[in-house]
Chain A
Amino acid sequence: MAGYLIRRFGTAIVIVLGVTLLTFAMLHIVAPANAAALATLGPKATPAAIKAYDHANGFDRPLIQQYLTYLNRLLHGNLGWSYHFNQSVTALLSEKAPLSAFLSGSSLVLAVVVAVPLGIYQAIKRNTFGDVAATSVTFVLYSMPVFFFAIILIQVFAIALNWVDPGVGQDQSLTAALGNVKDLILPIVALSSTAVAGYSRYQRSSSLDVLAQDYIKVVRAKGLSERLVLGRHLVRNACLPMITLVGISLPALIGGNLLIEFAFNINGLGLLFVNGLQVDDYNIVLAYTLLGAIFTVAGNLIADILLSIADPRIRLV
């Protein structure tokens, strides 16, 4: 177990280093040259002033040195400066993070809570009306852009039925948004839709695989009640792949979160990313990209550890 964990941690660190290398490269290649100097000194800065600024900030040093400075800065929790908002990126992101975390977290929980039982139900009732109906609905949801589903929800529940507001209040803080929790229902449901579709399809096929296993036949032949067969033997084994799947789907969750925040005008990290990109504020944009990647790596690491606890066979590899 210890060996497996150490190897897995090592890989995670290597990947995070790789990501920092990539975001660093993008800061230099994608961001327009002299972006920082021009943003600080104004668009009419003289070349001499730009040169002096670059020298003062170390932008003229060798790239490898700049990368090490960048890493050092990241290790101290300094994600750079947003020239557009004139604020440190760390402060900006941590201000918006709770709302996005709540939105994404609750839709992830909702997706798992709906999809796992649904997939298992479909596998048990294979090819019945309920299974076919659920498969059709999830198939359509799976093929639907998450923002189009959001538009339909807004049309039905906000415009036609007028149950909730079409947008979420512009409060930045999570507590203020929770005061109007009714308005968060549509975003959470919309964000979980694609995940429900993907997870339940997977859960269904993984449950079918387990149902075809010999040990299910054995426990049935032993005369175990169907409740025990399903509860103890099917569910436990069929849920194992879900742990990995949730880990793998984290990048999609971050992307979906961005689209949903844009669709409902939620003042979170995704909307900050879009606004930052529109004004070429690459420090914000790449800091969020980096954090998203680290979040994904950490999520996958946790998923692998959980899986190795839940399934002892993994540890032997």
Chain B
Amino acid sequence: MSLIDLSLEPAPASQPPEGGEVLVVTSGWRLVLREFLRNKLAVAGVVLLVFFVVFCFLGPLVYHTDQLSTDLTNTDTPPGPGNPMGTDGNGFDVLGRIMLGGQTSLKIGFLSAFIATVIGTLWGAVSGLIGGVVDAVMMRIVDTILSIPFLLIVLIMAHRYGSNTWNMSLILGVFSWLLPARLVRGEVLTLRTRDYVAASKAMGGSNIHLIFKHLIPNAMGTVIVNITFQIADAILALAALGYLNFGVQYPNTDWGDQLSDGVGSLVAGYWWLVYPVGICLVLVVMAFNLIGDGLRDAVDVRLRKR
């Protein structure tokens, strides 16, 4: 950046022009936020998400339960005084267990989506910018990993290496960066023909400079919309792993794990082991999908106005 500044005449002391404020107000992201807040369903998604984050992370501070030692004299009790949502087959309080499992599900959801987005964005940007043989090879690698059924490969890795939050996030992230890579590459292919990219290149901007200063910032809308769906998918995938008993291990727990424990008791009528946690799972995934849909529409509006 400094190199370019030196080679130019010093810019006239920046006295904000009269229209300055107006420009700021209608800047892209403000517009997105305004559109997003107009969308009632999207706002409902945010409210739902905030509720669950507070419930799972702050709830245990208020509502203390013992989630470490089993209580075999007090198993499978229906909801009642002392245990508002009953206890499970190990005597754990179900409400407290849902909070604990929710922490895991949300943490892994966010982390793995972050990992996938970082890898995917860089991969897509490099592939799209360089083009040619490099692009072809990089995209065939994406095609290859994408053609392997996600659940199968993630199950294998989780069985072998996954036991805690970090491993699990890494496994889910490392196998789900392919969609963001494709999306960002698509964006970069159109962005790289823009005049400002050509100008930056003509002034000697390196590929790294182009990627971080021009291409990724301008593809950010697509990337952010994708993150929310990515989180929803990761939470669903984690639930599937837990349901198949390949999820995080004791003393940690996640929602899929709890569902799988509860299913066996369904015939016995222990509904509180299955439905509360199942409904939480659906609501959280719905929240992310609602936010994602709202963001996509809002970003669309920004692109149309631009």
Q: Interface of A with B (CB < 8 Å)?
A: 11, 14-15, 18-19, 22, 26, 30, 139-140, 142-145, 147-148, 151, 154-155, 159, 166, 251-252, 254-255, 258-259, 262-263, 273-274, 277-278, 282, 285-286, 288-289, 292-293, 296-297, 300
Q: Are B156 and A274 in contact (CB under 8 A)?
A: no
Q: Is B153 an interface residue (CB 8 A)?
A: yes
List chain A residues, Cβ under 8 A from B240: 145, 147, 255, 259
Q: Are B155 and A277 in contact (CB under 8 A)?
A: yes
Per the bound structure, the CA–CA distance linking A162 and B215 in Å amounts to 58
Per the bound structure, the CA–CA distance linking A15 and B140 in Å amounts to 7
Contact among B141, B144, B159, B282 with A148 in the assembled complex (CB-CB below 8 Å)? B282
For the complex formed, measure the closest distance between the CB of B153 and the CB atoms of chain A, giving whole angstroms: 6
Contact among A144, A148, A154, A251 with B149 in the assembled complex (CB-CB below 8 Å)? A251
What 0/1 readout, one digit per residue, does chain B (140-168) give for beta carbons within 8 Å of chain A?
A: 11011111111111011101100000000
Closest 5 CB pairs of A and B: A255-B151, A18-B144, A251-B149, A143-B286, A143-B285
CB pairs A–B below 8 angstroms (26 shown) = A11-B140, A19-B144, A19-B147, A139-B289, A140-B286, A142-B289, A143-B232, A143-B282, A144-B282, A147-B240, A151-B278, A159-B266, A251-B146, A251-B150, A252-B150, A254-B149, A255-B149, A258-B152, A262-B243, A277-B156, A277-B159, A278-B159, A292-B148, A292-B149, A296-B147, A297-B147
Contact among B147, B244, B267, B286 with A259 in the assembled complex (CB-CB below 8 Å)? B244
Q: Is B116 an interface residue (CB 8 A)?
A: no
Q: Are B148 and A289 in contact (CB under 8 A)?
A: yes
List chain A residues, Cβ under 8 A from B144: 15, 18-19, 22
List chain B residues, Cβ under 8 A from A18: 140-141, 143-144
Q: Are B152 and A22 in contact (CB under 8 A)?
A: no
Q: Are A288 and B152 in contact (CB under 8 A)?
A: yes
List chain A residues, Cβ under 8 A from B232: 143
| Residues of chain B in range 141-198 having any CB-CB distance to chain A below 8 Å | 141, 143-153, 155-157, 159-160
Q: Is B94 an interface residue (CB 8 A)?
A: no
| Residues of chain B in range 226-278 having any CB-CB distance to chain A below 8 Å | 232, 236, 239-240, 243-244, 246, 256, 259, 263, 266-267, 274, 278
Per the bound structure, the CA–CA distance linking A166 and B265 in Å amounts to 13
Q: Are B150 and A19 in contact (CB under 8 A)?
A: no
List chain B residues, Cβ under 8 A from A263: 263
Q: Is B281 an interface residue (CB 8 A)?
A: yes
Instruction: Known pairs A258-B152, A292-B152; list 14 more (Cβ under 8 Å).
Output: A22-B145, A30-B156, A30-B157, A30-B160, A142-B289, A143-B282, A143-B286, A144-B282, A145-B239, A148-B239, A251-B146, A254-B149, A274-B155, A282-B156
List chain B residues, Cβ under 8 A from A154: 266
* A256 to chain B: closest residue by CB: B151
Q: Are B156 and A26 in contact (CB under 8 A)?
A: yes
Per the bound structure, the CA–CA distance linking A300 and B274 in Å amounts to 37
For the complex formed, measure the closest distance between the CB of B169 and the CB atoms of chain A, giving whole angstroms: 19
Q: Are B278 and A148 in contact (CB under 8 A)?
A: yes
For the complex formed, measure the closest distance between the CB of A301 and the CB atoms of chain B, giving whole angstroms: 10
For the complex formed, measure the closest distance between the CB of B78 and the CB atoms of chain A, giving whole angstroms: 17
List chain A residues, Cβ under 8 A from B146: 251
What 0/1 readout, one digit per residue, does chain B (114-153) give for beta carbons within 8 Å of chain A?
A: 0000000000000000000000000011011111111111
